[in-house]
Amino acid sequence: MWSSYDIREINLDSSREVEAVRAFLAGFDLTFDGAVDYTVAFYQDDEIIAAGSLAGEVLRNIAVSPRLQGEGLTANVVSHLMQQAGQRGIYHYFIYTKPSAAPMFAALGFKEIARVEPYAVLLESGLGSITDYCREIAKKAKVLPAGSRAALVVNCNPFTLGHQAVIARAARENQAAVVLVVSEERSLFPFAVRFRLVREGLAEYKNILVLPAGKYIVSSATFPGYFTRGAATAIAQTRLDATVFARYIAPALGVTRRYVGDEPYCETTSSYNQAMAEILPQYGISLKIMPRITTGGEAISASRVRELIRHDEWAAVKDLVPETTYRYLTSTEAQPIIAHIKHSHSRH
């Protein structure tokens, strides 16, 4: 019987408490990386019988002791995490889980968005849905001219001449192009700055629409591996993100082509391109992989720009970014971010 148990918030700064949760989750082939906002464990006689975590809108690492499965304890964990999310002003929830566990969460009111067998299923619940999101972006895309449309998903940390060249080509080869800027706040440049620099750098093009990517594209829900670089889950996450794009987002935008830059350096992004090459054509979407723009024999990349900033090589930075980006980078407004870059070794 589990009717008598203690609910304890895990102190994420306590190695002892974290290790106890990690050991419990290991029995379910789940990892615990600590990149969460809140973790709860249900104890019985000082033994963990269930656990779960909250990371933004994502409910993660939900597990119940095998001897108590099927007794309704999972619902208690999910309910507890939702209450905690509500206290943080969050009323929309994602669950990223194994296909075998999906029916259990569906019974709790979660709706399946997409699955990639045999790896993972993404479900959601609460206020808002992918249907609402698609309706919103479809409305915004009505300003674009009719005809062939391409889409590009970019992080632009920061916006470079390489980004500009690929997007400009997509705009030339199609009647219109939609640029979706990754909204997740895991980059050295905040989303608001990245979004602004993309818009400013593309202002001369009248057939380009720049939109926030939102929570359904390269986010902590659909693609946590983009930020965590978990090699064991890269296949599942890249295929899931590509499937969500192809099934929902491309039709909403009227997109039939997706453009990406080739990726010789980042294994995760290279895997993402491979996943799209396999999945998008199944939905009638072609993938165009563009060679990177080079200067001085080196590919132009945002990571190279950040490395030059770290060494105050501003003349070299100026050769790699549009005037609008350079003007921002050398402004007083950008100084806190420049200082952060110089003291960080983050790849994002």
pLDDT by residue for the chain (348 residues), tens only, comes to 556 789 999 999 999 999 999 999 999 888 887 789 999 999 998 999 999 999 999 999 999 999 988 888 999 999 999 999 999 999 999 998 888 899 999 999 999 999 988 888 999 999 999 999 999 999 999 999 999 999 999 999 999 999 999 999 999 999 999 999 999 998 999 999 999 999 999 999 999 999 999 999 988 887 665 444 455 577 888 899 999 999 999 999 999 999 998 866 667 778 888 999 999 999 999 999 998 888 888 889 999 999 999 999 999 999 999 999 999 999 999 999 999 999 987 665
What pLDDT is recorded for position 144? 97
Distance of CA 306 to the CA centre of its chain: 21
Write down the domain spans for the chain. Answer: 6-128, 131-342
Q: List, as one string, the DSSP characters of 122-159.
A: EEEEES--HHHHHHHHHHHGGGSPSS-EEEEEE--TT-
pTM of the shown model: 0.91
What pLDDT is recorded for position 231? 54
CA separation for the pair 112, 121 (Å, rounded): 7
CB 257 within 8 A of CB 150: yes
What pLDDT is recorded for position 34? 73
Signed CA dihedral, 65, 68, 74, 80: sign only: negative
Q: Where are the alpha helices (DSSP H) in the chain?
A: 15-26, 73-87, 102-106, 130-140, 161-173, 191-201, 225-228, 234-244, 250-253, 267-279, 302-310, 314-318, 323-329, 335-342
Residues facing residue 210 across a β-bridge: 179
Please identify which residue in the block is written with the tokens 């309910």.
Answer: 79
Work out whether strand 58-64 and strand 92-97 pair parallel, antiparallel, or are unpaired. Answer: parallel
What pLDDT is recorded for position 18? 95
CB 3 within 8 A of CB 54: no
First CA to last CA across the chain, in angstroms?
Answer: 47
CATH code that applies to domain 6-128: 3.40.630.30
CB 192 within 8 A of CB 209: no
What pLDDT is recorded for position 219? 87
Strand order in the sheet with 208-212: 208-212, 176-181, 149-154, 257-261, 286-290
- Spell out the residues 6+ positions from residue 198 whose beta carbon is closer than 8 angstroms to its own: 154, 156, 159, 163, 179, 181, 210
- Spell out the residues 6+ positions from residue 23 whose beta carbon is closer than 8 angstroms to its own: none
CB 112 within 8 A of CB 79: no
Q: Which CATH superfamily is domain 131-342 in?
A: HUPs (3.40.50.620)
- How is residue 34 written in tokens? 């600590």
CA distances from residue 228 to 34, 118, 163, 183, 271 in whole angstroms, order as listed: 11, 21, 23, 16, 14
Long-range CB pairs of 69-75 (<8 Å, 24+ gap) are: 71/2, 73/2, 73/42, 73/49, 74/50, 74/104, 74/108, 75/108
On the CB side of 303, CA atoms within 13 Å amount to 9
What pLDDT is recorded for position 193? 98
CA separation for the pair 346, 293 (Å, rounded): 23
